[in-house]
């Protein structure tokens, strides 16, 4: 029963014709002999943050290039003369600053290696003030399946057609429009898409109106998004139809059982009014959790009861469960930086199995989950493994974080912690975490703090968590009190040993008469043993 509300039914991809060259008119010429770039780090400065993006995009599916204009509302946190943001392979023009004093052009310089633009003002942008900056831009549709890219498909009559879609995780929004392309720079987005009448456009939010433009074009206006990171922005222009259903909570979606489960488990309603699922055959990432518009490989979404196997059903259901879990873990609460990617991916992988145990018990996912943990241990037993939380800086290092350690080991240590704390205490802590950091960014320690002393939480006193009965009962249970109150259990101290160092422990037990000695070392597949940076936290 997986009929998606939006099924982009594509078949084998065919290479489209070459993209047209962009005109030079109004293009900003970047002087490579200009003064030094005013910023020297790959990470953006914290002097300015975006509040709202007003983004208009016009993809031309005949010439295979797109134009656009973005107007960004900014908060200034420290006096500065420069706005530093991301842009890659975009041709920038007509850059303007809007302030209470009026409108003026800004000087533009570029740092290609850092994918950064500097927009410099002759006057100081003052701390505490709010400004707006507007940039026009253009580029060819990407052929790399990242950013705003072109795809093609063959119709039932054999005609080859072109569509345009987005894939922005992890650092590819900068290929589609100038932006602050780091997960901590959350903002609201109002998106407009100009298209031909034969196409449709979809984005994260529902369409609110369509205007007719000169030349027979249409402009679709989408509702403003909730506060979110740039990598979750999505839009698709194609000529497909859509079908939809509605959950008991009023959200348009077909896989209602999973969405309803997550709303109940997290005690937080799905924040958006719709959830589209789009199937794209040449989608390279497997699936992507864009808020309100999740995208999938065709084989990761579409199920034919007459042709698909039980294994196919398990795989499809797991992928959908993973992406819907991201609507809370990753979208509502997002890691501050990519070193903690596992807070997104490990949790989504973990919730795949928690949700399917309840919603699809016939799939018997517990054995499959155990297999994934053994696979994670296989990878983690190699000297080339890395900690779950690993410092990363550049886009290449960030992409390398999307591996079995972040996904599978992250999920398995969460399952271990759930068994250790008890499922009830773990769920209270997760609800506490999601409610405390909704629309914000987190690091490892925020999760561990939320899972510590769950029954002494202010959240319970404020009535935001629904498990008062459990906490009252647990306080009087023999031997259980230490898990829920007091300072005896330091979740962070335990879990830092599992997330900040690679590997897992080999525990050796020696019995000598009435004496038992325990020792531990990192387990490696080779005969060489490496010393541990710290002992792994564990219960005995």
| Location of structure tokens 């034969």 | 198
Three-state SS at 324: helix
Known active-site residue 323: yes
CA atoms within 13 A on the CB side of 94: 12
User: What Å distances lie between residue 227 and 17, 50, 232, 233, 332, CA to CA?
Assistant: 37, 11, 10, 11, 8
Closest CA to 387 of 372, 414, 406, 373: 406
Give the three-state DSSP class for 399.
Answer: helix
Q: Is-contact 420 459, C-beta < 8 A? A: no
The helices-and-strands tally (H runs, E runs) of the chain is: 13, 22
Both tokens of 384, joined, read 């080339």
**Among 22, 16, 60, which Cα is nearest to 196's?**
60
Sign for the pseudo-dihedral over CA of 247, 252, 253, 254:
positive
Residue 491: φ, ψ to 5°: -60, -40
- Rounded CA separation 315/322 (Å): 11
CB 47 within 8 A of CB 80: yes
Cα–Cα distance for residue pair 364/314, rounded to 1 Å: 9
Residue 452's beta-bridge partner residues? none
The response to whether 326 counts as a known ligand-binding position is: yes
Q: Report the C-alpha gap between 358 and 344 in whole angstroms.
A: 22
Per annotation, catalytic residue among 136, 263, 298, 323: 323
- Strands ordered across the beta sheet of 147-154: 147-154, 160-167, 235-238, 200-203
Instruction: Please tell me whether 345 is known to bind a ligand.
Output: yes
Please work out, in degrees rounded to the nearest 5, the angle formed at the alpha carbon of residue 271 by the alpha carbons of 313 and 147: 70
515 in helix, strand or coil?
A: strand
221 is in an annotated binding site: no
Place of tokens 């005690």: 267
Torsion-angle region of residue 208: left (phi > 0), alpha (psi -120 to 50) or beta?
Answer: alpha
Number of C-beta neighbours around residue 151 at 10 A: 23
> Nearest 5°: CA angle at 334, between 225 and 317?
85
Q: Binding site membership for Zn(2+): which residues?
A: 322, 326, 345
Q: Binding site membership: which residues?
A: 322, 326, 345
State the catalytic residues.
Answer: 323
């Amino acid at each position: 029963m997986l009929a998606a509300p939006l099924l982009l039914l594509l078949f084998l991809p065919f290479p489209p014709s070459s993209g047209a060259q962009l005109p030079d008119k109004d293009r900003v010429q970047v002087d490579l002999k200009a003064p030094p770039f005013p910023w020297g780090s790959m990470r953006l400065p914290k002097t300015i943050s975006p509040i709202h993006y007003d983004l208009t995009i016009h993809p031309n599916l005949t010439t295979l290039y797109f134009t656009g204009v973005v107007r960004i509302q900014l908060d200034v946190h420290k006096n500065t003369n420069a706005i530093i943001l991301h842009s890659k392979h975009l041709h920038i023009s007509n850059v303007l600053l809007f302030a209470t004093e009026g409108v003026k052009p800004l000087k533009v310089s570029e740092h290609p290696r850092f994918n950064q633009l500097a927009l410099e003002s002759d006057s100081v942008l003052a701390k505490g003030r709010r400004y707006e900056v507007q940039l026009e831009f253009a580029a060819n549709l990407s052929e790399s399946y990242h950013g705003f890219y072109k795809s093609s498909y063959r119709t039932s009559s054999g005609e080859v057609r072109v569509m345009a879609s987005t894939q922005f995780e992890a650092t590819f929004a900068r290929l589609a429009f100038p932006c602050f392309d780091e997960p901590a720079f959350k903002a609201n987005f109002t998106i407009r898409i100009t298209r031909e009448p034969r196409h449709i456009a979809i984005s994260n939010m529902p369409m609110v109106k369509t205007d007719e433009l000169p030349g027979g074009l249409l402009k679709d206006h989408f509702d403003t998004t909730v506060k979110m990171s740039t990598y979750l922005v999505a839009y698709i222009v194609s000529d497909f139809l859509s079908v939809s259903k509605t959950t008991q909570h009023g959200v348009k979606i077909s896989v209602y059982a999973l969405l309803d489960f997550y709303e109940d488990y997290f005690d937080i309603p799905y924040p958006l009014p719709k959830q589209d699922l789009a199937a794209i055959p040449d989608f390279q990432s497997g699936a992507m959790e864009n808020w309100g518009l999740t995208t999938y490989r065709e084989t990761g979404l579409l199920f034919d009861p007459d042709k698909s196997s039980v294994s196919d059903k398990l795989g499809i259901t797991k992928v959908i469960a993973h992406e819907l879990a991201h609507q809370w873990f990753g979208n509502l609460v997002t890691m501050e930086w990519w070193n903690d990617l596992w807070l997104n991916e490990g949790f989504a992988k973990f919730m795949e199995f928690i949700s399917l145990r309840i919603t699809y018990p016939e799939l018997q996912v517990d054995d499959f989950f155990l297999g994934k943990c053994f696979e994670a241990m296989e990878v983690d037993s190699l000297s080339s493994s890395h900690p779950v939380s690993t410092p990363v800086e550049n886009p290449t290092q960030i992409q390398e974080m999307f591996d079995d350690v972040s996904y599978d080991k992250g999920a398995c240590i969460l399952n271990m912690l759930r068994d250790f704390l008890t499922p009830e205490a773990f769920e209270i802590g997760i609800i506490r975490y999601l409610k405390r950091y909704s629309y914000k960014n987190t690091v490892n320690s925020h999760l561990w703090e939320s899972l510590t002393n769950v029954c002494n939480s202010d959240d319970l006193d404020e009535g935001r968590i629904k498990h008062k009965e459990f906490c009252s009962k647990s306080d009087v249970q023999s031997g259980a009190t230490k898990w829920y109150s007091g300072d005896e259990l330091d979740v962070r101290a335990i879990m830092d040993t599992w997330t900040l160092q690679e590997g897992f422990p080999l525990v050796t037990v020696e019995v000598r008469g009435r004496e038992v000695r325990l020792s531990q070392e990192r387990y490696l597949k080779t005969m060489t043993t490496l010393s541990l940076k710290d002992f792994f936290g564990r219960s005995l």
